Amino acid sequence: MTVTDLPKAPSNLPHAHHDIDEHDDVHVLYSHDHEPVGEVGNNVKLLTLIAVVVPPVVLAVAIWYAWGGYFSWTDLTMMIVGYFMTSMGITIGYHRLYTHKSFEASAPVAWAAGICGSMAVQGPLLWWVTTHRRHHLHSDDIEDPHSPHAGRQKGISGWIRSFAHSHVGWLFSNDDIASSVKKYAPDVAADPRARAISKLFPLWVLMGFIVPAVIGGLVDGGWKGAFLGFIWGGVIRMFLVHHATWSINSVCHIWGSRTYRSGDHSRNNPIMGILAMGEGWHNNHHAFPASARHGLQWWQFDLSWITIRSLAAVGLVKRIRLPGAERMAAKRIGRAVA
Ligand SMILES: [Zn+2]
Ligand SMILES: [Zn+2]
């Protein structure tokens, strides 16, 4: 495994956002201007609404029926395995590899991580990268796609509305972030593999539902097994991963501790650290966005980092980026800025 310190920023880059600072951390292709954006189509909004509203209803009904015997160990196993696979597709693939380029992956890893991430049903790869880079550049200011703080109105109702916006409401905003791909993610858009994964998004989503249905049908037998496999390994698995990821945007900008200066409200939240495969160490991440490791302390459990390290040990991943001890010390809250 090759571990490299973060490279120094070239001096001719435009200045990045407040003290997320250090251009090498935020991807260098950002710029400040907010380009005009188009409207999101009604069909996309309708599909998003279905993906948000239907799964919790399905979960409630499925739990009710599970009492009556409509549930098997196969379903539980598929839900858990599916949760880990698609969750880490997002954290290792969509997030740390494609968005932040925090390591280099061999072709099989890059494909698998991108496809597993797509199965989490959080939008095509290019859209996700664009949205997330915009979040880092504008974290908790008015152009952040999902801040629980920016534009918050007074009182408890203002607070609830802002939380709901950061958790899920932002998905229905009229900002067509896809039209900003050229601005925020031209490097990823130029990568044929990323483009192919992104384009075939509907296929990967479909696979995420069909595979557990087929396994359920084969193992538990017949249409009942297939249907329950689809529900538990597909719909409910998707619901759980959605809320784990969305909680990074909402919960992890509100509750938790702050170790490093990051210029925003990002927090380290141990519960989300575990549930979201290491992404809950979100203050660490905003302080050092290009770091492949989010749980920077030995006790900060980061399953995505453990997996990246294991892949590196067998040669499937290389050039891992980590912040140096000096930079970490310099950004610690309570330390004077050099
Ligand atoms: Zn954040
Ligand atoms: Zn990030």
The pLDDT tens digits for 272-282 are 999 999 999 99
Residue 207, Cα to own-chain centre: how many angstroms? 20
Closest CA to 279 of 245, 238, 316, 243: 245
In the prediction, which pLDDT does 170 show? 81
Measured in Å, residue 208 CA sits from the centre of ligand 2 at: 24
Measured in Å, residue 256 CA sits from the centre of ligand 2 at: 17
Measured in Å, residue 104 CA sits from the centre of ligand 1 at: 23
* Residue 44, domain member (yes or no): no
* Residue 15, domain member (yes or no): no
Number of domains in the chain: 1
Give the span between the Cα atoms of 31 and 183, in whole angstroms.
8
Give the span between the Cα atoms of 302 and 227, in whole angstroms.
34
Closest CA to 246 of 139, 166, 145: 166
Token pair in block for residue 326: 């000096």
Measured in Å, residue 139 CA sits from the centre of ligand 1 at: 6
In the prediction, which pLDDT does 8 show? 37
Q: Which residues on neighbouring strands pair with residue 332, listed in sequence order?
A: 260
* Residue 110, domain member (yes or no): yes
Ligand nearest to the backbone CA of 250: 1
Measured in Å, residue 91 CA sits from the centre of ligand 1 at: 13
Measured in Å, residue 216 CA sits from the centre of ligand 2 at: 35
In the prediction, which pLDDT does 40 show? 59
Give the span between the Cα atoms of 60 and 231, in whole angstroms.
11
Measured in Å, residue 133 CA sits from the centre of ligand 2 at: 7
* pLDDT tens-place string over residues 145-170: 888 888 778 788 888 888 888 888 88
Half-sphere exposure of 148 (CA within 13 A, CB side): 22
In the prediction, which pLDDT does 51 show? 81
Strands (E), the chain: 3-5, 104-105, 317-318, 320-322
* Residue 222, domain member (yes or no): yes
Measured in Å, residue 264 CA sits from the centre of ligand 1 at: 8
| Look-up of token digits 């956002």 | 17
On the 0-12 / 13-18 / 19+ scale of CB atoms within 10 A, 186 is exposed
Measured in Å, residue 135 CA sits from the centre of ligand 2 at: 8
* Residue 51, domain member (yes or no): no
* Residue 115, domain member (yes or no): yes
In the prediction, which pLDDT does 194 show? 97
Measured in Å, residue 96 CA sits from the centre of ligand 2 at: 7
DSSP-based three-state secondary structure for 293: coil
Ligand nearest to the backbone CA of 146: 1
Ligand nearest to the backbone CA of 252: 1
Measured in Å, residue 79 CA sits from the centre of ligand 2 at: 26
Measured in Å, residue 90 CA sits from the centre of ligand 1 at: 15
Question: What residues in the chain have per-residue pLDDT under 50?
Answer: 1-38, 338
Ligand nearest to the backbone CA of 96: 2
Ligand nearest to the backbone CA of 268: 1
In the prediction, which pLDDT does 182 show? 85
In the prediction, which pLDDT does 31 show? 36
* Residue 48, domain member (yes or no): no
Question: DSSP state, 255?
Answer: S
Q: Contact at 8 Å (CB) between 242 and 122?
A: yes
Measured in Å, residue 131 CA sits from the centre of ligand 2 at: 10
Chain length of the chain: 338
In the prediction, which pLDDT does 336 show? 55
Measured in Å, residue 132 CA sits from the centre of ligand 2 at: 6
Measured in Å, residue 65 CA sits from the centre of ligand 1 at: 38
Measured in Å, residue 203 CA sits from the centre of ligand 1 at: 29
> Considering the entire predicted model, what is its pTM?
0.85
List the domain range (segments joined by +) for residue 249. Answer: 61-331
On the 0-12 / 13-18 / 19+ scale of CB atoms within 10 A, 140 is buried
Q: Contact at 8 Å (CB) between 142 and 264?
A: no
Measured in Å, residue 253 CA sits from the centre of ligand 1 at: 6
Measured in Å, residue 59 CA sits from the centre of ligand 2 at: 29
DSSP-based three-state secondary structure for 156: helix
Measured in Å, residue 223 CA sits from the centre of ligand 1 at: 42
* Residue 276, domain member (yes or no): yes
Measured in Å, residue 140 CA sits from the centre of ligand 1 at: 8
DSSP-based three-state secondary structure for 318: strand
